[in-house]
Amino acid sequence: MKIGFLGLGNMGAAIAPNLIKAGHDVSVWNRSPDKAAALVAKGATHALTPGEASKAEVVFTMLADDAAVEGVADDILANLTDGGIHISLSTISVALAEKLTQAHADKGQHFVSAPVFGRPAAAADAKLFIAAAGETEAMDRVMPLLNAIGQKVEVFGDTPSAANLVKLAGNFLIISVTESLGEAMALVAKGGANNTKFLDFLTSTLFGSLIYKNYGALIASQTFEPAGFAAVLGAKDMRLVGAAADGLTVPMPLADLLRDRLARLVAEGNGHLDLTALSALAFKDAGLK
Amino acid sequence: MKIGFLGLGNMGAAIAPNLIKAGHDVSVWNRSPDKAAALVAKGATHALTPGEASKAEVVFTMLADDAAVEGVADDILANLTDGGIHISLSTISVALAEKLTQAHADKGQHFVSAPVFGRPAAAADAKLFIAAAGETEAMDRVMPLLNAIGQKVEVFGDTPSAANLVKLAGNFLIISVTESLGEAMALVAKGGANNTKFLDFLTSTLFGSLIYKNYGALIASQTFEPAGFAAVLGAKDMRLVGAAADGLTVPMPLADLLRDRLARLVAEGNGHLDLTALSALAFKDAGLK
Amino acid sequence: MKIGFLGLGNMGAAIAPNLIKAGHDVSVWNRSPDKAAALVAKGATHALTPGEASKAEVVFTMLADDAAVEGVADDILANLTDGGIHISLSTISVALAEKLTQAHADKGQHFVSAPVFGRPAAAADAKLFIAAAGETEAMDRVMPLLNAIGQKVEVFGDTPSAANLVKLAGNFLIISVTESLGEAMALVAKGGANNTKFLDFLTSTLFGSLIYKNYGALIASQTFEPAGFAAVLGAKDMRLVGAAADGLTVPMPLADLLRDRLARLVAEGNGHLDLTALSALAFKDAGLK
Amino acid sequence: MKIGFLGLGNMGAAIAPNLIKAGHDVSVWNRSPDKAAALVAKGATHALTPGEASKAEVVFTMLADDAAVEGVADDILANLTDGGIHISLSTISVALAEKLTQAHADKGQHFVSAPVFGRPAAAADAKLFIAAAGETEAMDRVMPLLNAIGQKVEVFGDTPSAANLVKLAGNFLIISVTESLGEAMALVAKGGANNTKFLDFLTSTLFGSLIYKNYGALIASQTFEPAGFAAVLGAKDMRLVGAAADGLTVPMPLADLLRDRLARLVAEGNGHLDLTALSALAFKDAGLK
């Protein structure tokens, strides 16, 4: 199948090769064109503009934020084949997903939201977890493509934005873990108990999942570089959660707390740190260190 | 060894038999004496007063709250053998642990904090997880007893109250999960996506631990009876977390949120529900149901 | 001067006559045309479209929200005279003010933000308080008009959106009073003391301003109808505060609390009540009534 | 009347002379005895112990906190005349007021809570505002004394702790103003508008009370020394509010926020600053300064 792929950051550059491996004809585009060379070496075509890459049956976008997706939306709409499908893999707002759904429908095209969970290494191994939603007919057509890049695809109905909401809710849960561990460990540390021992105890008993182990270890050692998931991106996600909650009239006090914590990190000039750095605020506010 | 055991509620009644099985001479006391019969049938002696049960080398307390422990403290102090050890298994305040540590030391006795994680069924199977702390010499003497009732004992140093702090921090983390899942699911539900599917997706990917599966299922179905862990007890625990945080000057905004949520449940007359009922507040505030 | 006036709700209908009294030639427009009759009786011309009213040297907008202003923006831009000025009196977002500033500049026109504080009765008496901002030259030209409708005009520099930010910050302070009084009175009431006496004591000592007296009386009696300022409008304002805070990266935990409280009122179907009804949430959560 | 007066800090030293002026025989005691000389010069007797000062018909306590009052309680109980009255002027917990009410009743004595609002200068001028509560007969007897030290006495019924609750609720309202102004001004400042102008506008319109003017000026200039009301004392008051709210099961999210803010100031080593310094946290978290 002729496929366009827009966005070759850490995630996009790891995902696109799995589509090539699956036998597709993939045309890649990136704002900084130097990222394309590695993909061309793996069999991709280098498109010089978003519009050129979008002359395809399916176009994937894996871009940094709403603005980046909006920046290429008109090119996709103008060039995607009749009946073509735009699959958005990145974390975008519910509102933008709704807008794109309408815009593609107006052109006789389709929009599918398929935001992914996983880090670049998982993407390279086609081990992503994907929350997807879109019209049944479009979903049927794209399912083989999603299965080529992920280990699990869960379909959340025929309204694309539902998948974006699920992704945002999932990121909210992930960031919540950081806040709860941060406060718990600040309390334990200031009380004189050992946090590594506390973490070992917790993760060998009730909190066995990887996220508690991995994030807990970073928080226990207060080590936030290099960033696996930069705070500034977490801040963006929490703003999107807030916008979705505002739009649906859902009060979310814990989400507010996380948004404020991350905004503070960014405002203080620490947005480049890993998002577990928000635990450092609980430590600092307790006068630790 | 001659052992006293004060408190035969759901937990105490399940723990004491494991001490009898380990070959100890156990004298049990409970405020409502009818609870003692089942233990006597298993080989315990029935003490009619806390003081009588406390004429022992080691006394365990497994009582509802600080007030209940304070209600028997003088009897224990007066009757425990010289060099004897009081082991507190229940969730009490850091301040009370510090007070009892001093009081027992003044009498040439020892105080060990060993709060337990686990439900009655785990207690009956000697599968509890135990956070313990106390003077090394006392810890060495009680370790065989703790191993007789739990599957894992983690020692947090020689200051007994450190174990209480760990227990409180652990309960805080547990209740945090409820709040984060409650808010996430209120958002997802109001946005029209299916929460059971959302939960399946999460727990098969990043949030594999039992607590997310079990609590998540209760929250997805908004089923809060019968209570595994009553909200009114969670409210008490969160007040103890708040008191510990105040005492140590550790700001804990998420803990505040949980304390308020649980206080609201209790004030509304719903303290008898399972603590996952605090998720119902996020749902209700979003106008769901 | 030839003036257009768009929006004849409670506020607009009270403001426009003061411009007529000041000798201006005022053309009014409203979405529901029946509102225009009363103004025509006072000397206004009835414009049938926003564009018709906008053929003027100055156009005022006093509309419900961002969407309403955006709905007439193109008509104003297309019809306002060269060098003309669009004065926005209503509470709109910082982002929309920035967008309109640019759009009018691109057309050789001017945009002035002049959001007002005051209720319809104050508007009718030309007793509004006005926070204004815009280019010096434009401000000089509109100052006589603003003085014709208000008792005090404070100029916050030459960036129009600064006035919107001031208005939003002011509304945030007003709503904050409601929350603080609500929590304080819930505490006092549940503790058995008399809230009317509490309020009298406060307002005769430290809290002498009208807002504490007026809001306090409504809260003490828990009387929320008829609405002076509907909760649903307060909810909108707090969303605008949140958006401004997000845009500027300013963590505002109290603003979050107010936004959640108001969202809850709206989600529960009580958005039509006065915004002091958010105090009822503190009462209800304490189990009062 | 023979009166004992315990506590000659800034407030006590300013209040006691007004009792002497009213013609009473006042015996003063202070932990640091050097404070007594100035009072002796004005006609007081210097008592060397709390017990000695308490051999009186009425004993006032104006001490720093619960612990200080508890430290002299037994001496007062043992020495106060039969039917004598203990008047507590300082901000103490609801729980301690309840305990002292019972303890004095058990001795055939009376306890009256009469916490005061006002700074030392107001105390010296007998211009305090006093919230009082106690048994009617005791209140009748002490009213002339309270009128001798304050400009307004409001009686909140016959349960002494009600007055303490009113005092705590009042302090909560005062501290709330600081938080709301802090967040509003951080937003306005980061948005580029002038805070002094913002404050002038507010206080000349809706927020005319002194507290907004005075606190607002300190916050606009971010000047927190010398402390009029030290943050560490505000932190203590907010802990008492939290304890009262816990005791009455009243969720108070704004009070939680204030308690956390003040705890953070104290933990960071800034408890000596004026409590308006909590506004600096909103500024700092926004990356200002």
- Number of C-alpha atoms within 13 angstroms, CB side, residue D17? 19
- Cβ neighbors of B269 (< 8 A, separation 6 or more) are C287
Q: What is the pLDDT of residue D210?
A: 87
Question: What percent of chain C is predicted at pLDDT more than 90?
Answer: 96
Write out pLDDT tens, residues A21-33. 999 999 999 999 9
**Does the pLDDT value for residue A212 go beyond 80?**
yes
Nearest by CB to residue D285, choosing from A253, A264, A287, is A264
Strand partners, C87: C60, C112
Write out pLDDT tens, residues A221-234. 999 999 988 999 99
Q: What is the pLDDT of residue B206?
A: 83
Contact C188 D169 (CB under 8 A): yes
Q: What is the pLDDT of residue A209?
A: 87
**Does the pLDDT value for residue A73 go beyond 90?**
yes
Q: What is the pLDDT of residue C83?
A: 97
Name the pLDDT band for A270 (thresholds 50, 70, 90).
very high
Burial status of residue A179 (CB atoms within 10 A of its CB: 0-12, 13-18, 19 or more) = buried
**Does the pLDDT value for residue D289 go beyond 80?**
no
Q: Do the Cβ atoms of D257 and D179 come closer than 8 Å?
A: yes
Distances (CA, A) of A241 to A229, A233, B254, C133: 17, 12, 18, 32
**CB of C194 less than 8 A from some CB of D:** yes
Q: What is the pLDDT of residue D127?
A: 96
Round to whole Å and give the CA distance between A265 and A278.
7
At residue C193, the 3 state secondary structure works out as coil
- Cβ neighbors of B90 (< 8 A, separation 6 or more) are B7, B11, B61, B62, B63, B64, B65, B69, B115
Write out pLDDT tens, residues D148-161. 999 999 999 999 99
Contact C250 A266 (CB under 8 A): no
**Mean pLDDT, chain A, whole residue set:** 96
Tokens 């642990």 locate to B97
Determine what percent of chain A falls in helix, strand and coil, rounding each to the nearest 5: 60, 15, 30
Question: What percent of chain A is predicted at pLDDT more than 70?
Answer: 100
Write out pLDDT tens, residues C142-151. 999 999 999 9
Q: What is the pLDDT of residue A267?
A: 98
At residue A18, the 3 state secondary structure works out as helix
Instruction: For each of the domains in chain D, give its residue range(s) and CATH number, in order of start.
Output: 2-158 (3.40.50.720), 165-285 (1.10.1040.10)
Any catalytic annotation for residue C42? no
Token pair, residue A251, equals: 């009060």
Name the pLDDT band for D63 (thresholds 50, 70, 90).
very high
Write out pLDDT tens, residues D241-274. 999 999 999 999 999 999 999 999 999 999 999 9
Q: What is the pLDDT of residue D26?
A: 98
Contact C260 B285 (CB under 8 A): yes
Name the pLDDT band for D206 (thresholds 50, 70, 90).
confident
**Does the pLDDT value for residue B289 go beyond 90?**
no
Q: Which of C265, C166, C181, C266 is nearest to C219 (CA)?
A: C181
**Does the pLDDT value for residue C289 go beyond 80?**
no
Q: What is the pLDDT of residue D218?
A: 95
Q: What is the pLDDT of residue B150?
A: 97
From chain B residues 60-79, the ones with a CB under 8 A of any chain A CB are none
Handedness of CA C229, C234, C236, C242 (dihedral sign): positive
Contact C250 D187 (CB under 8 A): yes
Average pLDDT, stretch B123-141?
97
**Does the pLDDT value for residue A6 go beyond 80?**
yes
Q: Which of D167, D190, D284, D289 is catalytic?
A: D167
Chain D residues lying within 8 Å of C154, measured CB to CB: 197, 200-201
Name the pLDDT band for A119 (thresholds 50, 70, 90).
confident
**Does the pLDDT value for residue A9 go beyond 90?**
yes
Contact B204 A152 (CB under 8 A): yes
Q: Is the ipTM of this complex over 0.85?
A: yes
Round to whole Å and give the CA distance between C67 and C225.
27
Q: Which of D154, B73, B14, B15 is nearest to C188 (CA)?
A: D154
DSSP B272: T
**CB of C232 less than 8 A from some CB of A:** no
pTM for the complete prediction? 0.95
Average pLDDT, stretch C267-283?
97
Average pLDDT, stretch B104-117?
97
Average pLDDT, stretch B6-29?
97
Write out pLDDT tens, residues D121-155. 999 999 999 999 999 999 999 999 999 999 999 99
**Mean pLDDT, chain D, whole residue set:** 96
**CB of D251 less than 8 A from some CB of A:** no
Which phi and psi (to 5°) does residue D37 adopt? -55, -45
Q: Do the Cβ atoms of A114 and A146 come closer than 8 Å?
A: yes
Write out pLDDT tens, residues B35-71. 999 999 999 999 999 999 999 999 999 999 999 999 9
Nearest by CB to residue D267, choosing from A266, A267, A286, is A286
Q: What is the pLDDT of residue C51?
A: 98
Token pair, residue C92, equals: 């709109």
Average pLDDT, stretch B12-29?
98
